[in-house]
Amino acid sequence: MASSEGNKLWGGRFVGNTDPIMEKFNASIAYDQRMWEADIKGSKAYVKALQKAGLVTQNEMEQILTGLDKVFDEWSKGEFKIKPGDEDIHTANERRLKEFIGDPAGKLHTGRSRNDQVATDMRLWLRDAINTLKELALQLISTMVERAAVEIEILCPGYTHMQRAQPIRWSHWILSHAVALSRDVERLEDIRKHVNVMPLGRLFLCIYNFKRILYELNFDSISINSMDATGQRDFVAEFLFWASMCLTHLSKMAEDLILYSTKEFSFITLTDAYSTGSSLMPQKKNADSLELIRSKAGRVFGREDKEAMFDTYDTVHAVLQVATGVISTLMVNQPAMERALSPDMLATDLAYHLVRKGMPFREAHSCAGKAVYIAESKNIHLSQITVEDLQTVSPLFDKDVSSVWDYNRSVEQYSAPGGTARSSVTAQIEHFRTWLQAQKQKP
């Protein structure tokens, strides 16, 4: 009696049918079909190597290549029909190839296992996915850098522990997130090197044929051990970690922007394209784009293997594009940012004022703290304390303390690399422009 297992890539020694529940449980076609192009690309390179090795004739190779082109056309036009026996993309493509060209299709599998195909297809697919995500990340960074250049004069509070800290440039805040994303791009480049290793054709005896496939598929190198080549998924785990890190960075940025968009802050306003309303309260404008960016980070934590690779790619692909849209269209409320600046944020500057007069910083920090206490006890701003009151804290205070109460001066004093001074932020912007140009020139 004929067995349905005979259509499977592994079915020869099995008798009888697989339990339908097991069949469905084992199938991966629902999600790995998106590797159809990588699978066809790998098979076309492989059959050329088979022909050079004398394992298929020139005519058989041409039939297989023509048949694979037909399979490609069906997928690209959305006309490929998945059948019940197609447990994965490899089975589906080979089944359709056989329907087109007959018996020569069976020779395509010579010398390679399905594990070879899975590992190769995943690497080819992920390599292209990484290229796309890198492009989107660079676009987001470029948008952030150019926004920082345009809005470099805007000052706002910096926050630590959700408390106002010191005055900063708005551009400095933007670039702090651009720096994190630039690390993500560089990590992604390293991961691409680990992805672009060829596992295909472990049963080949001729190194020439390995090199031919290597050239055809544009891999950088060949796996050093065949068991490791088909069994390891380190490159997927690295990609999932990268996505978790990247989305953590974007979640952190989104959290700040959500707060800045509230009525209490009113630092920024999102355009309607990246906001939603309330079904109950007409006045509400919800920052759903940012809330989704923040929440999507949790989607990729703890995922693993092939299905997670696809889902993670889709998530990061969407988040990067939405983040770019938000950053490029949000409107900054400069007056609200500047109204949020308060003299108590200059307490550190008050300490530095004493340091410049020779006082050790720890002692100066204590003196500034006492000045803050005096202001709070009198219910006045720190800048309204009289020189006489300040001299009860330290005799080093005199009339020149008035120079401390200047937000621009505060920001400009940090002129070292990475600081908040205009020259430092401009240097960061130029650094990123140069870096982005170098990234675009990479192959």
With contact defined as beta carbons under 8 Å apart, do 82 and 30 qualify? no
Output the six-digit token pair for 53: 């090795």
Task: Give kind and range of the element (H or E) at residue 163.
Answer: strand 163-169
Q: Please state, in angstroms and rounded to a whole number, the distance separating the CA atoms of residues 172 and 429.
A: 10
Active site residue 226: no
Output the six-digit token pair for 96: 């359709």
Please state whether beta strands 197-198 and 221-222 pair in parallel, antiparallel, or not at all (unpaired).
Answer: parallel
Which residues have a Cβ under 8 Å from the Cβ of 83 and sit 6 or more positions away? 92, 95
With contact defined as beta carbons under 8 Å apart, do 356 and 396 qualify? no
Q: What are the helix (H) ranges across 161-287?
A: 170-195, 207-217, 226-231, 234-260
Which residues have a Cβ under 8 Å from the Cβ of 21 and sit 6 or more positions away? none
Output the six-digit token pair for 36: 């159809």
Active site residue 161: yes
Among residues 76, 221, 278, 403, the one annotated as catalytic is 278
With contact defined as beta carbons under 8 Å apart, do 228 and 197 qualify? no
Helix (H, G, I), strand (E, B) or coil at 96: helix
Q: Which residues are catalytic?
A: 161, 278
